[in-house]
Amino acid sequence: MKKNLLYLIALAGMAVLGYAMHLQYFNGIKTCQLCVVQRYALTLLVVTSIVCAFFNAPRTGAVSALFLSLCGAGTAGWQVWHISKRSVACAFNSLDGILNHLITAKVFPAMFHVDVACVNERFRILMFSIPEWSLLIFGAISALCLMILFVRVR
């Protein structure tokens, strides 16, 4: 059961990454540095969930996935807060240079290259902006991780 929840977390993460790529290519949504940080968190979450489920280590997978989902939720929360305050802190800064010079940004530029200063907040899906959806999804993944850690299976 716990192993299946890890696979579910990985599947959900892959679906979110796939939809992010869909939005980028078909809706013209460009990626900002906070979006790319969330993509890194989600990619690492997917990989660790699959590896830990494969090697039958659900507690290790749940702890690492919980840590990564909380990192992603923190980044998404930071982005939602800055957008709500109309802050300029989401503008290009030194983080862009760091992220764009990582090997993953060079090997997978479609997924990990920073393009713009911040997300288009006018683009909404069911009344929520993309960062708000990201925050909700990372919260749901965190809840699944807590289920793996604390719910006993009989």
Lowest mean pLDDT among 16-20, 55-59, 63-67, 118-122: 118-122
For the chain, the DSSP string reads -HHHHHHHHHHHHHHHHHHHHHHHHHS-PPP-HHHHHHHHHHHHHHHHHHHHHHTT-HHHHHHHHHHHHHHHHHHHHHHHHHHHTT-STTSS-HHHHHHHTSHHHHHSHHHH---SSS--TT-EETTEEHHHHHHHHHHHHHHHHHHHHHPPP-
pLDDT at 7: 95
Query: Under CATH, what is the fold of the domain 2-150?
Result: Bromodomain-like (1.20.1550)
Q: What is the pLDDT of residues 36-67, one digit of tens each?
A: 999 999 999 999 999 999 999 889 999 999 99
pLDDT of residue 77: 92
Provide the residue ranges of all domains of the chain, joining segments of one domain with +: 2-150
Residues in the chain, overall count: 154
Q: What percent of the chain shows pLDDT beyond 70?
A: 91
**Euclidean distance between CA atoms 154 and 142, whole angstroms:** 22
> What is the value of pTM for the model shown?
0.88
Backbone φ and ψ for 108, nearest 5 degrees, come out as -125, 70
